[in-house]
Chain A
Amino acid sequence: MTARPTDVAPVGHVQLPDSGLGRGWEGATLMVLTVVLLSFGLVTLYSASSVLATREGLPDTYFLLRQATAAGAGLMLLIPCALMPYRWWKRWSWPLLWVSVVALLVLILPGTEAIAPLIRGSRRSLQIGVSAQPSEFAKIAFVVWTAAMAVKKAPQFRSLTKGLAPFFVVWALVLIPIALQPDLSTAVLIGVLGVMIIFAAGVRISHFLFLGLLILPFLQKQLAVGFRADRIEAFLNPAIDPSGAGYQVRQSLVALGSGGLTGVGIGQGRQKFGFLPDAHNDFIFAMIGEEWGLLGVVFVVALYLGIVLVGFRIASRAPDLFGELLALGFTNLIALQAVLHMSVGLGLVPPTGLALPLVSWGRSNLVVTLAAVGIVISVARAASGGRVARA
């Protein structure tokens, strides 16, 4: 038997064996980061929601078991999304979009209250056997459609009317029904996501500035609406009304502050005992800070940072523009929600109802986030590994 040289660097292009998650390490890394965050999220959700559930005479695992079921469903969806060639999405971009628009219209039309009830002041979910939020599933359709259209329109991006106008017409079909639910946070989130995608596809910055000026009056009018104005006022000046609109943010900061460096301990948080409303969804970041301390917060931020960096790397190595925009769009979907959610918890932006992806209570959001991770992995799988030059 001849001795094999083990200490000699390989020469030339190295092809890693295909792990099922692509030839590079990116797909596998993204999957690991996602599963770690998801597991951490379920533990945190259990801690944050058990008090809420038992106060209403439900088992302490009420929210956990439902969320875990959604996690299972999401992972079952992630697998086909990852295995499927991502180019297939291009064919489905219009049908997906129309299904989303119809579902969103059902929510805001009069006469559909039986399947789209008014819950906490807005109509966000369809109750058809299971409860589903069309605006969550619209995120997938929106990113896919915008990426597909951006590929088609990229040569015409110099023209405002031919290049950009179609985007704004179709985006309006998705964003306006969501804003009317009302769910302005999600509408703005999705809009910003669309802008990020077409920006990456090469739209001129001057066009954005021009269009930004156009929607400014509309946004200003929307923000002047009662509860939003109160929240913004409370955000700018938290001391004026500590028990009113600024209450949640104040309690969120109390939670983060009492966590200190290492936290009060898992399950030991006090703020979930009715002091911090929405501790299991809109403010779950504060629960992490309270129970796991600064170290826990840094851990979670590092996981998101890892997902974002790997996602961007996958985008930059995608075989074509469509793949790049898909990976970028879905990575940004996770990143934007995470950043905005954490900013709300820290009092850096006015309170919005955005979930912390993979952690917050919300089954539609969880399923959609896992599907999005699957699609990013499918882009990673299509990359040949090693450095790729793309025309």
Chain B
Amino acid sequence: MGGNVGGGLAPAASELALRAQPPDWYVLEMSSFQLADVETFRPDISVITNLSPDHLDRYDGLDEYYADKARILNRADADSIWVLPAGDVAVLSLMGEAPGTRFFFGETEQTGTHAFVSDSALTLRVGGEVDVLISAQELPLLGRHNLRNALAASLTAELAGAQAKALADGLRSAIPLPHRLEPVADRDGVLWVNDSKATNVAATRSALMSLDRPVVLLLGGTDKGEDFSRLVPDGAQMRSVLAYGAVGPRVANEVQGSEFVVGGLDVVVQRAAEAARPGDVVLLSPACSSFDMFENYEERGRRFSALARESA
């Protein structure tokens, strides 16, 4: 595994070159910056998870950015395999008439979809054969984006020859990344989730959109001047919103039904434990930077996790 993750391609490549037995598969995450320089790169299976605007400080426009992404198609031939999000217009238009076989993943079962959720189970249907992997509840990763990621990864692994049993085991043992919708404690029906990495309103909004249980939201920190009035997305089930820290009073003003909790994170966690009912999620997704009370967001997340485990 290498690419845009961690130290880039070179360290991973040199480590693999030293192995006596070369691995059967290499998994690379390719950024647009890396694709901009590829000449002979021809993956057996390519996965495009989604397309969204980014790095527009470097590119003159979205077209130019997507043009670099499209370089993954340069060497496509009839043997190429594509794993694509079902119904994603942007991705399909990027693919154009590129040769190869296309497989699709999506949350709901549709004609021509190969990985989907059916009866709340992650299911694969490739070549007339149907594999039910695990139930969506069993996936240790929270959020709809992670569900889609799990579908794409399972589909890709199956196309590479993995057995359904191995896929199910792999999905069950996935480890959530720290501070990103990370479940840290589960007791008495209340799930405690650390999303300390969410340091702006948009990140907290998407965390709320990806949860389908009533939420006790903990947020606060250094005030960046963002507007909080649109923080809670329509349809989110909010048990309560507890605002703390330097920005706390302003949040309490702008978010309907929110409460300003005076004191450190220990007091806020205590208050959250009282407010939560069985079936709820207690979510730390602060929408602010951590500098009013912590060294950085990691420290904030660790402190929350420790307090959550104590109080749960």
Contacts and interface: CB of A to CB of B under 8 A. Distances in A.
Interface of A: 52-53, 55-58, 113-114, 117-120, 127, 274, 277-278
B199 A118 contact: no
Q: What DSSP secondary structure best describes chain A's contact surface?
A: loop
B296 interface: yes
Contacts of B246: 127
A117 B297 contact: no
Contact of A57 (B199, B262, B264): B199
A57 B296 CA distance: 11
B293 A119 contact: yes
A278 B200 contact: no
Interface residues of B, number: 20
Interface of B: 199-200, 222, 224, 246, 262-264, 266-267, 289-297, 299
Contacts of A58: 199, 222, 224, 289, 291
A118 B290 contact: no
22 contacts: A52-B296, A53-B289, A56-B199, A56-B291, A56-B297, A57-B199, A57-B224, A58-B222, A58-B224, A58-B291, A113-B262, A113-B264, A113-B267, A118-B263, A118-B264, A118-B266, A119-B264, A119-B293, A120-B295, A120-B299, A274-B296, A277-B296
Contact of A113 (B200, B263, B289, B291): B263
A58 B262 CA distance: 24
A282 B297 CA distance: 18
A149 to B, nearest CB: 38
B48 to A, nearest CB: 27
A278 B289 CA distance: 16
Contacts of B222: 56, 58
Contacts of B294: 119-120
Contacts of B292: 119
A57 B200 CA distance: 7
A57 B224 CA distance: 9
Please list the 8 inter-chain residue pairs (A to B) with the smallest Cβ-Cβ separation, ordered nearest first: A56-B289, A118-B264, A57-B199, A114-B262, A56-B199, A113-B263, A57-B200, A119-B293
B259 to A, nearest CB: 14
Contacts of B224: 57-58
Which one of A57, A114, A119, A277 has the greatest number of beta carbons of chain B within 10 Å? A57
B88 to A, nearest CB: 27
Nearest to A63: B291
A316 to B, nearest CB: 42
Given A56-B222, A119-B293, 19 more contacts: A56-B289, A56-B296, A57-B199, A57-B200, A57-B289, A58-B224, A58-B289, A58-B291, A113-B262, A113-B263, A114-B262, A117-B263, A117-B293, A119-B294, A120-B294, A120-B295, A277-B295, A277-B296, A278-B295
B290 A56 contact: yes
A232 to B, nearest CB: 21
B66 to A, nearest CB: 25
Nearest to B286: A56
A310 B200 CA distance: 48
A55 B263 contact: no
A118 B267 CA distance: 10
Nearest to A117: B264
A244 B292 CA distance: 25
A23 B98 CA distance: 83
A56 to B, nearest CB: 4
Contacts of A55: 296-297
Nearest to A52: B296
A364 to B, nearest CB: 15
Contacts of A53: 289
A56 B295 CA distance: 11
A374 to B, nearest CB: 29
B113 to A, nearest CB: 36
A107 to B, nearest CB: 14
Contacts of A118: 263-264, 266
A61 to B, nearest CB: 13
Nearest to B200: A57
Contacts of A119: 264, 292-294
Contacts of B199: 56-58
A58 B292 CA distance: 13
Contacts of B295: 120, 277-278
B11 to A, nearest CB: 15
Contacts of B289: 53, 56-58
A69 to B, nearest CB: 15
Nearest to B267: A113
Nearest to A49: B291
Contacts of B299: 120
Contacts of A120: 293-295, 299
A55 B301 CA distance: 14
A289 to B, nearest CB: 21
A200 to B, nearest CB: 38
A5 B275 CA distance: 90
B207 to A, nearest CB: 14
